Amino acid sequence: MAIADVKEFAHLSEADVEALGREFDQIRADFEEKLGEEDATYIRRLITIQRRLNVASRAMLFGSHRRELWWAGALTLAVAKILENMEIGHNVMHGQWDWMNDPEVHSSTWEWDNVCPADQWKHSHNYLHHTYTNVIGKDKDVGYEILRVRSDQPWHPYYLTQPVVNAMLMLAFEYGVSLHDLDIDGLVKWQLEDPEEFKKKFKGILVKQARQIGKDYILFPALTGKNFRPTATANLTANLIRNIWSYAIIFCGHFPDGAEVFTEEELEKETQGEWYLRQLLASANFTGNRLMHIMSGSLGYQIEHHLYPDLPSNRYPEIQERVRALCEKYDLPYTTGSFPKQFWQATRSIWRLSLPAKKMREASQQRQSLGLPRSAGAVPSTGDQTPQAGQTPPAPANTPGHPNPTGSTSA
C-alpha cells in the first residue's frame, strides 16, 4: 500500500507526482529568496507587542481586587499568552526565523510560556508530527494517545468517556502537550524502551511545570500583596483561555471532515512528492481575517504550514495562492471552511468515535453515499490494515527537532 493508492490521488501518475513535487519545491525556493527585512521586522514587532501586553496585564492585576481591573488584566494576559504560544513561540521553534541568525529569535534558544519544555516539544511536534503527519502509531498528535481517532481502531468501553476526556484535554491542554514526548504507551505496559531517557524527560517536565506554576500562581500574585488570591485566579483564567483557544485551533487543523489519517504501511517508499500529497490530505484550513490568523499562530493556513513548516508564517497568505493554484491544476483536494464549521466537525467526529466502530463506519458510508467527504477518522487505505514496519519518509527541510534537519532521510 502506498499514498498513490489513496483515491483522491489515484488519478496521478508517477510522473505527475514527481512533477508536483518539483513544483512544491519551487514554491519553497521562491519564498526563501524573498526573505528579508520585512519578515524580520514582522516578528520583532510582534514580540515587542506581546511583551508590552504582558507587562500591561501584570500592572493591571496590581488592582485585581477591583472587578474591572481583574477582567482587564486576565483577558490581556490571555491575549499575551496566546500570541507568545501561537504566532511567536510555535513558529520561532519551528525555525521559521533561524535565517536571521538572531540568538534572541532562534529555535535553539526560545523557551515559551508553557509547561511543556521546548526541546521535548520540538522533537514530538517538529519531527514526529511533521514527518509522520496523521500516521497512526507514529504521530502522537493524532489522538494525543488518549482518544480514538479512526473508525477501524479497536473499540473499548473506555472510549465511551471520550467526550469527557476530550473536554478535560481542552481545559488542561498545555499539560497534555507537556507529556507528548514521553513513552506513555510503554509506561502503561511497563515496557519502557529507555527508562533512563524517560526519567530524564520526566524530570525536565517537572522542572518546567514547577517554574511556570511558581511564576503564575506564587511569584506574580505575591507581588500584588493583599491581592494575591484575585491575581492568582486571574492568572488561572488566562491560562484556561489560552488552553481552550490553542486546543480549538489545533484540532481544527487535523480532525474536520476531509482530514484523513494513515497507516504505517502507507509510508513505504514514500517519495518527496508523496509526502507533499499526504500533507494536503492530512491537514485542513479555516478562514478568517488577518487578526484571527495572527491569534491562531497562522494555523488557519494549516495546509501551507504542513507543506512548509519552516517558512515564516507571515508569508502563508501568499503561499496559499500558489498552493491552491497547484491543487486546481492537478485536481487535488483542498480542505477549508469557517472556524466554527471546522471546530464543530472536529468535535462531532471525536464524539462519534466514542461509539463502537460499526456505528462510525455506517455514518461515514452514509456521508459518502450522499457525495459528502468522509468523516475525519476514516482511514483511506484498503485491504490489510495491519501496520507494517515503515521507513522514515522525506522530512520537512531544516526543521528543529529532526535528527537530520539538513535533508531528507530514508531507511
| Location of C-alpha cell 461509539 | 355
Summarize pLDDT for 263-281 with one digit per residue, the tens. 777 777 788 999 999 999 8
Res 86 pLDDT > 60: yes
Chain-centroid distance of CA 127 in Å reads 12
Summarize pLDDT for 338-377 with one digit per residue, the tens. 999 999 999 998 999 999 866 555 555 665 565 555 554 4
Query: Helix 67-83 to helix 37-60 angle, to the nearest 10 degrees?
Result: 150
Grid coordinates of 313 = 508564517
Closest CA to 394 of 284, 261, 273, 306: 273
Amino acid, res. 33: E
Distance CA 153, CA 142 (A): 12
Q: What is the DSSP string of 48-116?
A: HHHHHHHHHHHHHGGGTTSHHHHHHHHHHHHHHHHHIIIIIIIHHTTTTTGGG--TTS-TTT---SSSS
Query: Helix 228-252 to helix 339-352 angle, to the nearest 10 degrees?
Result: 80
Average pLDDT over residues 127-148: 81
Least confident of 95-109, 110-124, 127-141, 213-227: 127-141
Going by C-beta distance under 8 Å and a sequence separation of 6 or more, which residues neighbour residue 128?
A: 138, 139, 140, 141
Closest CA to 149 of 239, 27, 256: 256
Distance CA 294, CA 314 (A): 9
Global pTM value = 0.85
Q: What is the pLDDT of residue 321?
A: 97
